[in-house]
A = this chain, B = another copy of it.
Amino acid sequence: MGNSKLYKGSLNTIILKLLEEQGKMYGYEITQKVKNLSKGELNITEGALYPALHKLEADGLLDVEVEKVDNRLRKYYKLTEKGEKETVNRLAELEEFIRSMQNLVNPNWSIE
């Protein structure tokens, strides 16, 4: 688990960013993608992910489309137009936040 508790607040933005990149993804796929990209550092729990997806959908940022693969259900999510706009803003905010955190924690780091 490690620092799993540390990503509070940024889960939504991570979801949006991945969907922007990948076009469409289903929940389980997102958990695996994040795990792989972070080399096991970040583990999104289902209890956090599914409610987050439902809320983003309710807020009109995501569209959902159900598919059946190998007799198993998959709910593919993709950004709505509103979602695309929001993603730009939230990503900018998150990047700014990361820079600020870096500057606090390790001013020697530089980003290029």
Contact = CB atoms under 8 A, between A and B. Distances in A.
Interface of A: 2-3, 5-10, 13-14, 17-18, 34, 37-39, 41-42, 91, 93-98, 100-106, 109-112
Contact of A106 (B39, B41, B95, B106): B95
B95 A105 contact: yes
B94 A98 contact: no
Contact of A104 (B2, B9, B38, B105): B38
- In the complex this chain forms, how many copies of it are found? 2
Does more than half of chain A's interface fall in helix, strand or loop, or is it mixed? helix
A93 B1 CA distance: 11
Given A3-B97, A111-B110, A103 B37 contact: yes
Across chains A and B, which 7 residue pairs bring their CB atoms closest together, nearest first?
A: A8-B8, A38-B100, A41-B100, A6-B97, A8-B9, A3-B93, A6-B9
A7 B97 contact: yes
A107 to B, nearest CB: 8
